[in-house]
Structure 1
Amino acid sequence: MSVAEAHHRDITGGWLRPAVFGVMDGLVSNAALIAGVVGGGASASTVAITGLAGLAAGAFSMATGEYTSVRSQSELSLAEMEIERREIHRNAEAEERELALLYESRGVEPGLAREVARQLHRDKEVAWRIHTREELGIDPDDLPSPWTAAISSFVSFSLGALVPLVPFLVGLPSLGLAVLLTVLALFTTGAVVAKLTARPWWYGGLRQLLLGGAAAGVTYTIGTLFNVTLG
Structure 2
Amino acid sequence: MPTTPHVEKHFTSTEAVRDVVIGMSDGLTVPFALAAGLTGAIAASSVIVTAGLAEVAAGSIAMGLGGYLAARGDAEHYHSELAREHQEIRDEPEKEMAEVSHVLQEYGMAPDEAAILVERIRHRPEDWVRFMMRFELGLEEPNPHRVYKSAFTIGISYLVGGMIPLLPYFFVAQAQVGLLWSAGITAIALLVFGGVKGKATGTNAARSAIQTLLVGGVAATIAFLVARAFSHGG
Give the TM-score range, shorter chain: 0.7 to 0.9
User: Structure 2: any 5+ residue segments left out of the alignment?
Assistant: none
Paired residue type of 1:109: A
2:186 equivalent to 1:185: no
**Shift of residue 155 of structure 1?**
0.6
1:127 aligned residue: 128
Which letter does structure 1 place at the counterpart of 2:190? Answer: L
Tell which deviates more after alignment, 121-130 or 143-152: 143-152
| d(CA) in 2 for partners of 1:110, 1:54 | 60
1:195 aligns with 2:211: no
Shift of 1:11: 3.2
1:167 aligned residue: 168
Q: Which shifted more, 75-84 or 210-219?
A: 210-219
User: Could you tell me how far 1:110 is from its partner in structure 2?
Assistant: 1.2
Q: Which deviations, in whole Å up to 9, do the C-alpha atoms of 1:160-208 show, x marking residues without a partner?
A: 0000111223x33422222222111011111222333444322222232
In 2, Cα distance between equivalents of 1:51 and 1:21:
19
Q: Cα distance, 1:229 vs. partner? A: 8.0
| Partners of 2:182 and 2:156 in 1: CA distance | 20
- Is residue 72 of structure 2 the alignment partner of residue 68 of structure 1? no
Q: How far 1:71 moved relative to its partner?
A: 1.1
Q: Does the CA-based 8 Å contact 1:37-1:220 persist in structure 2?
A: no
Q: 1:11 is matched by which residue type in structure 2?
A: S
Matched residues in 2 for 1:94 and 1:191: separation? Answer: 49
Tell me how large the CA RMSD over aligned residues is.
2.7
1:7 aligned partner: 9
Q: Which runs of 5+ in 1 are unaligned?
A: none
Q: Please tell me the residue identity of whatever aligns with 1:54.
A: E
**Aligned equivalents of 1:157, 1:101: Cα separation in 2:** 44
1:4: Cα distance to partner? 9.4
In the alignment, the residues of structure 2 paired with residue 111 and residue 133 of structure 1 have an alpha-carbon distance, to the nearest angstrom, of 22
3-state SS of the aligned residue for 1:61? Answer: helix
TM-score w.r.t. the length of structure 1 is 0.85
**TM-score normalised by length of structure 2:** 0.84
Identity level (%): 28
